[in-house]
Amino acid sequence: MIEKVVVIGGGAAGPKTAAKLRRERHDIQIDLYTQEDIISYSACGLPYFIEDIIQKPETLIIRTPEDFQKQNINIHTKQKCLKVNPEEQTVLIEDIETKNIYEVHYNILVIATGANPVIPEISGVHLKNIYTLRTVSDGIKIKQKMQNSKRAVLIGGGYISIEVMEALVKNGIQVTLIEKNKQILKMFDEDFAQKITDYIIGRNPGQVNILTNENVTYFEGNNKGEVTKVITANGKIIDTDFVVIGAGVRPNTDFLEGSGLKFSVKNSLRVDNTMRTSNHNIYAVGDCTDNYNLVTNRRTWIPMGSTANKEGRCAAINIAGDNCLFEGILNSTITKYFDYTISIIGISYKEAISLGFQPEYAIVTKQDKAGYMPDNEPMTLKLIADKNTRTILGLQGIGEGDVNQRINTVIPAILGKIKLESFMNIDLPYSPPYSPAIDPVLNAAQIIYQKINV
Amino acid sequence: MIEKVVVIGGGAAGPKTAAKLRRERHDIQIDLYTQEDIISYSACGLPYFIEDIIQKPETLIIRTPEDFQKQNINIHTKQKCLKVNPEEQTVLIEDIETKNIYEVHYNILVIATGANPVIPEISGVHLKNIYTLRTVSDGIKIKQKMQNSKRAVLIGGGYISIEVMEALVKNGIQVTLIEKNKQILKMFDEDFAQKITDYIIGRNPGQVNILTNENVTYFEGNNKGEVTKVITANGKIIDTDFVVIGAGVRPNTDFLEGSGLKFSVKNSLRVDNTMRTSNHNIYAVGDCTDNYNLVTNRRTWIPMGSTANKEGRCAAINIAGDNCLFEGILNSTITKYFDYTISIIGISYKEAISLGFQPEYAIVTKQDKAGYMPDNEPMTLKLIADKNTRTILGLQGIGEGDVNQRINTVIPAILGKIKLESFMNIDLPYSPPYSPAIDPVLNAAQIIYQKINV
């Protein structure tokens, strides 16, 4: 008999679990503890708040603590979980303001502590005006600083840096992005990463610089302790008003050391497809858990807001006594730089090679609508399929055209293991304002099929 | 040994077959005969030519006869096929201008004669300024007439009428649409047809009228033989400057009577999944052929430009000696009225009932992007699944939001027979400018799954 469920973490997955569980069951006590002062917000929207497409940070909040109280869910903000004791079924909590430490008992525990930004060990990294972007409070700080700045440096070439770059460029900031690898967006094949780089640099001539194969040696500050220069291994000295570090995140699971819970990729928590950890009474959801990759059939760790929401919903259903399986993910990601969509699903060609697949690919550059429609836009797709099984392994899509539609078309085809010869003739709806008569993604499938069958 | 391939028909499917066959094989003589004076054009673009989004009719032409001659494909315009003699492997052709009749021999014949508009047997239907829209010449006539008109009547509430209505409304014409059934767009469920009707009427107040359950009794003309009034069975008298009849189309196969070829639904030609007719030496492609519906597993007849192109490509590959199977269609269609997308794939709830499925459905109205993004737009989805197999049967989508993306997501899920419980957690890429964290189409799947599992 479950009487009390304790949720730790207040980002996306924890509140989702609590809210869904309450809809399923009215007889369970639900307590949610979070170290932040707000809960249930969309971290993915933060770049658009900085950009000022969204004016108020509150707009990003999905449900307030008061909304939860109305649902009879007890929200405890500024309360940090220090330790979990699975044998006793207790968690140790610290009140961040009073420093008071207390124990809370649970029947079922849901760990949803998310992920924290990686802070690279670089001299000067703790100077003022060096930020990461993970919480609403981070976003507020960056937005305020941006408003009286002219130059910024972004460390790391992942999605968040691209999104922050758009925000800064739109607000007139001169931006330099520094990436230690030979390409930005490492999940993409190098050819596509290069095309994206070229687009970004060409989009606002002179305002953006992207340095690859480049490491920061140290950050230099002024006498107020504020960062003023970024010095690189290749001897570049970049004047700047502030820095945003987008060097990735890592699961927030350090406090679970010694708990006996099983860990997985990059210290994420190992969960099964019901979102249960290695302990029968403990579930975990969101960015702190590992994932099962349905293309590679391997455990992986891809922290995504959409996955967090689905996992929270699934865990709640299972805790409530019904049945929900979260089968896995396809590494699906999308972002944009101005009107240019950047998306990848499944695996890249290089990853397919490294995993021992026998991949073949096709690159197609086409207009997204009928060629004679005046508002059509170009896009480039790289479709990857396995020669042996003739199933699709992944798709990379970039361009001002409607890439998203094509990405979404391929996802169920990967999941359903639809063969190329079926997929290339699939009945996508056609009308000139929506696509060419034969959709570019089907052209790509046709080309791979012909390559394979030569 | 194939020496000579004859193609009859010059719309989309015939030229596609000829062009693809030439790319596959350089040693075959290819002759294409068409009764029209132009070939290889996008009939689906004609409403946008009338609307004047596209200014010149030539823009709709994909390849000219000269383009084909360069590829060593012989194009014979204004040449009508009167008869096919499968035993002798000959076709009888009439030169429309000289009336000269002659016989042409083939090794392989490709029939791509398309479909013709249905002209309802209504008194006065042959008056001047009563048009159908099928060919470029039809489009030119309607566009010219529109430019000095104030009022128009559209007969029939299918996609073409909706598209022509947009064209006319944007050009300031007062439009009345008359539909004999109780709803427009008969493939939709009644609730969605009503929502679409409400949107169209509300979009341009006072400029558009839609009459359902209404039949035209006769067309009245003036002393120049031009239509001036439409009189309905319910006694309405509608003044008009011109009329466009969109009462559907029928396969252009009458000339094949007595040929021994097997016919199918609505007098379309029966083809197998290689696009071959019942005669070993005769293929058929495009709007004159039947289709296999992969949801209902029945033969059907849905003439679509996208299908025509795919079938033409497939037939060419098979004629060339390679292998291409065209497995079937999913009844996928899409159009728009101004910024409002109208789309259906698979089957409706009412059709599912009538075919003996045990359907369940969910209707979801949501914003297409994250709720806090200022440019999000609403859409309404109706997802239909079968209770027994828990697979998706169809999706109807309407609204100013990005319906197309959701429609395209469901199509491979239908084809791959992905179960609801897998589909509802599928890893669609998420970013606030593209979708909510859990996509509305997945919400719909979740709702059906819960309904089924109660």
Q: pLDDT for A49-92, tens place per residue? A: 999 999 999 999 988 999 999 999 999 999 999 999 999 999 99
Tell me the percentage of chain A whose pLDDT exceeds 90.
Answer: 97
Q: What's the gap between Cα B232 and its chain centre?
A: 28
Which tokens hold the place of A385? 């399929």
ipTM entry: 0.96
Contact A313 B446 (CB under 8 A): yes
Amino acid at B286: G
Residues B434 and B399 in one domain: yes
Tens of pLDDT along A192-229?
Answer: 999 999 999 999 999 999 999 999 999 999 999 999 99
Residues B279 and B236 in one domain: no
Q: What is the pLDDT of residues B424-441, one digit of tens each?
A: 999 999 999 999 999 999
The 10 Å CB-count burial string (b at 16+, else e) for B54-93 is beebebbbbbebebbeeeebebbbebbbebbebeebbbeb
Q: Alpha carbon A309 to chain centroid distance? A: 12
Same domain? A110 vs A255:
yes
Mean pLDDT of A117-128: 97
What is the average per-residue pLDDT within A268-274? 98
Angle, CA A10 vertex, CA A7 and CA A16 arms, to 5°? 70
**Helix (H) or strand (E) run with residue A412 in it:** helix A403-415
Residues A29 and A80 in one domain: yes
Average pLDDT over residues B45-60: 96
Q: Which residue of A60, A412, A417 is in closest CB contact with B413? A: A412
Residues of chain A contacting residue B416, judged by C-beta atoms under 8 Å apart: 412-413, 415-418
pLDDT of A364 above 80: yes
Q: What is the pLDDT of residues B78-120, one digit of tens each?
A: 999 999 999 999 999 999 999 999 999 999 999 999 999 999 9
Q: Are residues A72 and A44 in the same domain?
A: yes
pLDDT value at residue A144: 98
Q: Are residues A8 and A95 in the same domain?
A: yes
Domain boundary among B218, B247, B276: B247
Confidence check: pLDDT of B347 > 90: yes
- Shortest Cα distance, chain B CAs vs residue A213, angstroms: 28
B277-313 tens-digit pLDDT: 999 999 999 999 999 999 999 999 999 999 999 999 9
Domain shared by A220 and A149, yes or no = yes
The last residue of a domain, from among A194, A212, A247: A247
B294 neighbourhood in chain A, CB within 8 Å: 427
- Domain membership flag for residue B427: yes
- Chain A contacts of B343, Cβ < 8 Å? 429
Nearest CB to B372 within list A59, A330, A421? A59
Q: How many domains does chain A have?
A: 3
Average pLDDT over residues A9-18: 96
Using a CB–CB cutoff of 8 Å, tell me whether B303 touches chain A.
no
For residue A13, pLDDT over 80 is answered with yes
For residue A158, give its domain range.
Answer: 130-247
- B374 part of contact set with chain A, CB < 8 Å: yes
B233 and B303 share one domain? no
Q: Could you give the CA distance from residue A217 to residue A121 in angstroms, rounded to a whole number?
A: 10
Distance, CA of B185 to chain centre: 12
Beta-carbon count within 10 A of B354 CB: 10
Tell me how far apart the terminal alpha carbons of chain A are, to the nearest angstrom: 62
**CB contact at 8 A, A263 and A250:** no
Identity at B67, one-letter amino acid code:
D
Asked if A380 is an interface residue toward chain B (Cβ–Cβ < 8 A), one would say no
A59/B429 Cβ within 8 A? no
Domain-located, residue B122: no
The answer to whether residues B97 and B240 belong to one domain is no
CB atoms within 10 A of CB A352: 23
Which band of pLDDT confidence, cut at 50, 70 and 90, is reported for residue A453? confident
Question: What pTM value is reported for the model?
Answer: 0.96
Residue B121 covered by a domain: no
CA-based nearest distance B350→chain A, Å: 21
Q: Are residues B372 and A42, on separate chains, in Cβ contact within 8 Å?
A: yes
Asked whether B398 and B343 are in contact (CB, 8 A), the reply is yes
Q: Which of residues 334-353 of B touch A (CB under 8 A)?
A: 334-336, 341, 343, 345
| Cα B308 to Cα B329: distance, rounded to the nearest angstrom | 11
Residue B144 maps to a domain: yes
User: For residue B453, what pLDDT is reported?
Assistant: 85
> Of B307, B421, B437, which is closest to A427 when you measure between CB atoms?
B307
Same domain membership, residue B348 and residue B427: yes
* Mean pLDDT computed over A253-271: 97
| pLDDT value at residue A25 | 96
Query: Token pair 């120049």 is at which residue?
Result: B224
- Look at chain B and count its residues: 454
Give which of A166, A331, A402, A427 to mutate to test B binding, by max B Cβ within 10 Å.
A427
Q: Answer yes or no: is B73 within a domain.
A: yes
Q: Is the pLDDT of residue A1 over 90?
A: no
> B325 in a domain, yes or no?
no
In a domain, B326, yes or no: no
My answer on whether B279 and B231 are in the same domain is no
Geometric angle at alpha carbon A439, from A403 and A339, rounded to 5°: 20
What is the pLDDT of chain B when averaged over all its residues?
97
Q: Which of B222, B247, B272 is the last residue of a domain?
A: B247
Could you tell me what percentage of chain A is helix, strand and coil, using 3-state DSSP and rounding each to the nearest 5?
Answer: 30, 30, 40
The answer to whether position A181 is within a domain reads yes
What is the SS3 assignment for A140? helix
**Nearest residue to B282 via CA among B63, B447, B107:** B107
Q: Are B204 and B305 members of one domain?
A: no
For residue B432, give the CATH number of its domain.
3.50.50.60
* Residue A2 predicted with pLDDT over 90: no
